[in-house]
Amino acid sequence: MLGGVENSDRQRAALRAATLTGALAAALALSGRQADSAASAPAGAGATYRVVIDPGHGGTDPGAIGNGIVEKEINLEVALKLRDLLVLDTGDGGGGAAWDVLMTRTDDASVSLGSRTSLANSWPADYFVSIHHNAFSSSSANGTESFSFSEGSTSAFVRDNLQSELLAAHGLLDRGSKTANFFVLRETAMPAALTEAGFLSSPVDAAVLSAPGSTDRAAQAHLFALQRSVGVAPYLPSDGPSNYCVNTVNPIGCSPTISATGSPSLSGPAVQIVGDQILSRQFGLMIWSRTQAATPFFGGTLCVGGSIVRTPIQFSNGFGPQDCSGRFEFTMDAAFLGASGVAPGEEIFAQYWFRDPTALGVGLTDGVRLTIRP
């Protein structure tokens, strides 16, 4: 952990902190301009589950249209993101499950209902999930509902999981889990469910469904529901933290870097964010936000933008007054994340700033990108 400040140096520390904070505020201002079968899925450790994802409508069939949203387009967007999450989940050994995925369409193609069910039956799939959005003649109709062919079935279990997760993702009215004689539910030979995330004809629902990140949340909701359906805890897969942005290399050759171990979780172990090659014995700020930036500043790049969270002033330690042995470790735990109001699936962006008397006044690491897990 970072060292403290000697009592005798408190006034100087406060002055340096104020200088760095002022530089940060200026930089942020600059950035701102710029039929259900009895068949069951395979079980047991190491099982791989076959899932057919069915983006409803497509091609000459647009589906519902309302408030600037076309159903066939938003269905496909959610479905493709779900496919990518299932692939990522398969390769992430930290949790979740393993999946084989087939899509009934991957572009704006016309696909018959018979072709959709035949694909699933001939593979054969273990699960079939059809993704839809609703509409009605009255704009007052709103809310989320999910369907299976019958009650008391595996399909109904999957349907209920989907309904629960979509409600958590979008916060819309709960219209309930229901049964329906839909072709893709009746003619599939495996557990099958169909979701209607909200009404495109409702201004209330449409505002939520078109908001930034909405299709990501919907895809994650479908992922979590499938995970629950095969008996594993909801888990947002990740290929790990990644770096972006450009650091500041100072005149004596320090090239400060930032890295992270693991991915932050609202319920799991803490993540250590580590900085190396920091100019030693200097005060700094660990900052993070939900917004990535790339604004040239102080010979490097301001890597975060928008609303930020700052830690207390930190000290980089090190051996000499002006060498590259400075290092910091910052613990980002579940309590810290919870207090910040972040949600599963959100990305966060972090960067370390420190006082650099050898250059223009501020040293910058590169940025590190992390995805919040449940």
196 catalytic residue (yes or no): yes
The CA distance from 352 to 359, in Å, is 16
Residue 143 region by backbone torsions, left for phi larger than 0, else alpha for psi between -120 and 50, else beta: left
Residues in the chain, how many?
374
Catalytic residue among 151, 196, 346, 347: 196
Q: Which residues are catalytic?
A: 196
